[in-house]
Amino acid sequence: MAKKPTKKKNDAASTRRSSPGRNVFLALTLAPLAIGIILIGAWVLDLEILGDPQSQITVGIFFFLLAFTASNALQKRWRLAAGWGLLAAADIVTLAWLNVAVQVLALAVGAVGLVLLGIEFYRQFRQGRAK
């Protein structure tokens, strides 16, 4: 009788134990996420936490994207971390410089980030369908 192939290698890799320090850092990525949600919520409710309401939404989105970047980097999902990081960089550049040429460059950087995210999400979608 032939042996059935087992998935022990894949199961062992997918159930890797995470170190306590890494779990703490992953939990700390919730702080910028919460700050972003608070800033965006305050903007929706027309409360001024920062001086300018328009910069408040931009900073809120930046913190939101920063949380995703840090979380994916800690999980060693580099393509996702790069995509979220490029979007965060594009967001902060649009806030920092009011020069149209620089904002067009930020738009291009954000587009590259979206492409990276799209590639990774599609790859994960295909892997999920294959299973």
Residue-range domain boundaries for the chain: 23-130
**pTM metric for this prediction:** 0.73
* Cα–Cα separations (whole angstroms), residue 109 to 18, 25, 100: 32, 27, 14
Quick one: tokens of 115? 């492409």
> 9-64: per-residue pLDDT in tens?
444 444 456 677 778 888 888 899 999 999 999 888 888 888 777 788 888 989 99
Q: How many Cα atoms occupy the beta-carbon half-sphere of 50 within 13 Å? A: 16
Quick one: tokens of 18? 């995470």
